[in-house]
Structure 1
């Protein structure tokens, strides 16, 4: 059914691998394409057990699966993977091997993974933030390894404590209570000393300042993170989301210090935490610095943390260095097609999609664009905010039959991958099915069962056990448990 839906359209592959319950490598393949109705679609297509994850072996496995369903690799116009070396390697990675044979199957590093790497870099390379997460990790480890006498308290609070950053202030007092309890009831003196040290860091102005700062930064980037996992997202929308996130962070840096500092003071007051004398000289070890405590927290912590996140976002989402993305902006319908540029659109088709546009097609595109300005851009029906909506509107209105070249180019740009979140959803569904007991089934049977379940799980239509029961009835002899 998916193959029929793809039809003769160009497509993109999203690929990732993960180890299953039996420690075998499983390869998931997702197809991204624009169907005949002009709807951008990401469909789970296959999951395959692979003997090794070398780039050459993965290329062969993917090629075999696509060939089996008569999906021609020559029509592949995009590859979406994470940042693993075997995937993104410039010379021998999977993307490089495909590009040698199919030079228009452009590789895009998963945008959600880029965001993750940006936040990890900020946590590691800004010293005060690294120290904060070290202390936070220590607190969580202490509570999770607590003795039997407080197991009920631990079980009641564990999940909330582990997600304290996303939950916010509500769990701070509860965590303090757990640590205070452990200070008295730990059986070993060394454990009590460790808890006292953790509590000393946890209930101080510096920790609270960093906690609230990271909470604010993570709340801003979480909106971007959720957006990057949507199936219908396209490259142009992603770059707008990234730009907006950077703008909000910049506003926080330039205008949010006074409000943020007051929030920290209020938090400390509510939880009986001593507020530092912000006008006093800042101490570095045993030496006094020329700057004040407020200056240190404002410029060396608040500004530095935000600056580093901004720098990482600018580096990892640098669309200006990628000409393909820059030219694609000319198709963006946002704000009444304010970015429209006929020359850029023709250059995009000519330079990046020569296999899809002959010289005659380019000539036809140039003349279509002249009419496009007066018939589409000026028409209120097409005043939409995303390229996905524009593609659907062109199809529904029948204009796609008139503006054949423009529609073709829009479909190609939409096909470019954004993130591999759909593969992660497939793996989540796989883990629900492929338990230790079910791993004792024959491989072929389990593969069929697993594929059916993942398809239905992603569609949210059926329960795992009903799928397994269906196979027990239809193929009882294949089950070895």
Structure 2
């Protein structure tokens, strides 16, 4: 049952008991040979007539125990409540053995007395009244605690500090959490009365906050593990950063397809590392993976994505190799977004003239950022701020190039105004004059124009790499388009040079000739193209993406890609080669499939059309491709959250507290969508230790 029997209302439970066990016709058939004679055992409804407690499920196609399913007391056999019995030959024997078990008798007795007066209640009226009062108190306490949990969830979702230094009742600034609890109490009379009169358990202390956060983290993590274990395949994304307290934080993100066929990337844990060596990182990851994947499901981990650090990508002693020794199907992905950044670094830092151009470009933002007076002139004349550029940002000066290119004339006028105003110091006047001359320099303007053409394509590819639903087939298509765009820019370099060359101003320094401009521009484009081909070349396990590129289906229909299929089956041995080839041949021949762009579109088509059984091997391949992450962008997003939570003023936060608040922030949608989240937290909270307040029903 989706909602456990004990969590349902009294009326629902009475209705379930009144309806009794469901007894559908099951589709069980067993082939057997006895003394050389073959025969078949099939389901018979007479099985139900022999035992009143026996029930069936036409979804699992198995027999279950009705009382045990409802109450599930300690020691209840898993076979009769989870797996189900399908063995017709030994059904009678298993039923007799189950009927003799203590748990079955206990569950049957509880079902029999449910809804009736128990012996104790019939003999003792006071006992019955005590139970009712106890449950009324529990209901009230759970309501109060649920409101406090809502306040903690709110603070966690919006990354607000729960506590301040002085939280005493006389404090003028008790903190956001206390203020939020007081506000909720003003709208909830039960909570207000509790806060005014409580002497044993108020629920707002530091200890209670910590215990609630522990329970909330445990509930969310259990849900993520449950989702990950129910998926067919799992991938991990891992990245490392130094936090504000100079402690190394390793972020672990799980990627899988949930039971609604949606791609999920879940923050699982931030791991504090004393040393970021390959051995320490691999050991920490193995410990977490052992808790997520059972020993017999190691083959379901199909990918591990890291950045390009040598400790991660080392072929013999790197983290990915140590993980792959334990999880053989966990192929390594070097984050494609990191690789794009490396490509642009190569193109912009290894050519001296280009490196000088970007150094000059970064000076514009620095000139205005150090003085409010200069910024005031910029706002008045240009009416547009210059973005600060950094070598570690993903778009790598793109916004700065666009801003300077589009507002060049206004910037010249701004610098001339600063130079001629007489209100600035000599250093400012000198720098403003130099920047005005720089904006009129032919070399600077040529490189500004060149990268104004290049950077939009880089930004577009980067935006594609950040999408959660991206797959290898779509990535390959985007990279091919990027290469084509770069080639088009390379082919148009000569015309670009001719357009930029005109009457030269009086030279104050040596400038490059048109041939030099053309040579350097071609070198930049060749560097980008060469590194793109090298860094974005697909390894064996990613060549499977080529099998599902819609624009190639017509070509594959004429000549089947045997090499790509062989490579795919070798990388993923769980695939059935012959059946996969047959399914792909049919897909290539059908016109309706050619419109699908990438694995995600094709997968959604199969699932919406209920074709997962017909194309079972293709769906498995699609799940493999979709579950494989192409970037560690989700881990980078987690870093942003960690930095907002653990700030300079909150740098003494413990690692456990950081994990709890980060989970509430990054997985707030999951927390909101989880059924009975507050009740599950209360169950864990009440089981942590013996409490004077009552939270468990009798």
Correspondence for 1:64:
287
Aligned residues: 436
- For 1:243 and 1:403, the matched residues in 2 are separated by 28
Q: Distance in 1 between matches of 2:424 and 2:544?
A: 66
TM-score normalised by the chain length of structure 1: 0.80
Determine if the alignment matches structure 1 residue 333 to structure 2 residue 557: no
Contact 2:541–2:568 (CA<8 Å) still a contact in 1? no
SS at match of 1:440: coil
Q: Distance between the aligned counterparts of 2:509 and 2:385, measured in 1? A: 36
For the residue of structure 1 that corresponds to 2:526, the secondary structure is: helix
* Aligned counterpart, 1:347: 566
Q: Tell me by how many angstroms 1:345 deviates.
A: 5.7
Picking from 218, 230, 253, the partner of 2:490 is 253
Matching of residue 199 in structure 1 with residue 418 in structure 2:
no
Superposition map of 1:364-383 within 5 A: 365-367=577-579, 369-370=581-582, 373-374=585-586, 377-378=589-590, 380=592, 383=595
Cα distance in 2 between the residues matched to 1:190 and 1:111: 43
1:428-458 CA-partner distances (Å, limit 9, x unpaired): 12222222333334443332122211222x8
User: Is residue 366 of structure 2 the alignment partner of residue 141 of structure 1?
Assistant: yes
Is the Cα contact below 8 Å between 1:205 and 1:275 reproduced in 2?
no
Q: Say yes or no: does 1:221 pair with 2:458.
A: yes
Corresponding position of 1:2: 224
2:504 aligns with 276
In structure 2, do the counterparts of structure 1 residues 295 and 382 end up closer, same or farther at CA, with 3 Å as the change threshold? closer
> CA shift at 1:426, angstroms?
1.2
- Superposed counterparts of 1:8-19, under 5 Å: 8-19=231-242
Give the equivalent residue in structure 2 for 1:478: none
| 1:153-178 CA-partner distances (Å, limit 9, x unpaired) | 36787842534313353332343344
Please tell me whether residue 29 in structure 1 is matched to residue 252 in structure 2: yes
Is 1:170 paired with 2:406? yes
Q: 2:608 and 2:333 mapped to 1: Cα distance?
A: 30
- Corresponding residue to 1:448 among 638, 660, 666: 660
The alignment's C-alpha RMSD in Å is: 3.4
TM-score normalised over the length of structure 2? 0.56
Task: Tell me the equivalent position of 1:160.
Answer: 386
Mapping 1:94-133, distance limit 5 Å: 94-133=319-358
Q: Please state how far the C-alpha of 1:129 moved relative to its aligned partner.
A: 1.2
Bigger drift between 65-74 and 11-20 goes to 65-74
User: Which deviations, in whole Å up to 9, do the C-alpha atoms of 1:279-321 show, x marking residues without a partner?
Assistant: xxx99969xxxxx933332x223322222221221221123xx
Of 367-376 and 92-101, deviating more is: 367-376
Structure 1: where are the runs of 5+ without partners?
Answer: 266-273, 287-291, 463-469, 475-481
Q: Secondary structure at the match of 1:400?
A: coil
Indicate whether 1:39 and 2:257 are aligned.
no
Rounded Cα–Cα distance in structure 2 between residues aligned with 1:352 and 1:337: 25
CA drift of 1:401 comes to 1.5
Q: Which residue of 1 aligns with 2:513?
A: 293
Tell me which residue corresponds to 1:304.
Answer: 523
1:41 CA displacement: 2.9
1:42 deviation in Å? 2.3
Higher normalized helix content (fraction of residues): 1
Structure 2: unaligned runs, 5 residues or longer? 1-222, 389-398, 674-680, 686-698
Q: Based on CA coordinates, which of the two structures has the bigger radius of gyration?
A: 2
Deviation string for 1:358-405 (max 9, x for gaps)? xxxx3xx41453355347852626741211111122223222113322
Q: Which moved more, 1:299-308 or 1:387-396?
A: 299-308
Which residue of the other structure, out of 150, 155, 167, is the alignment partner of 2:374?
150
**1:221-243 deviation digits (Å, cap 9, x = unpaired):** 11111101111111121111111
Q: Distance in 1 between matches of 2:530 and 2:584?
A: 39
* Structure 2 counterpart of 1:467: none
The answer to whether the Cα contact below 8 Å between 1:98 and 1:105 also exists between their aligned partners in 2 is yes
193-202 or 307-316: which moved more? 193-202
State how far apart, in whole Å, the 1-side matches of 2:529 and 2:653 are: 50
Contact 1:81 1:110 (8 Å CA) reproduced: yes
Counterpart position of 2:638? 426
Which residues of 2 match residues 404-419 of structure 1 at below 5 A?
A: 404-419=616-631
TM-fit CA distance, 1:149: 4.3
Q: Find the residue that maps to 1:212 and give its secondary structure.
A: helix
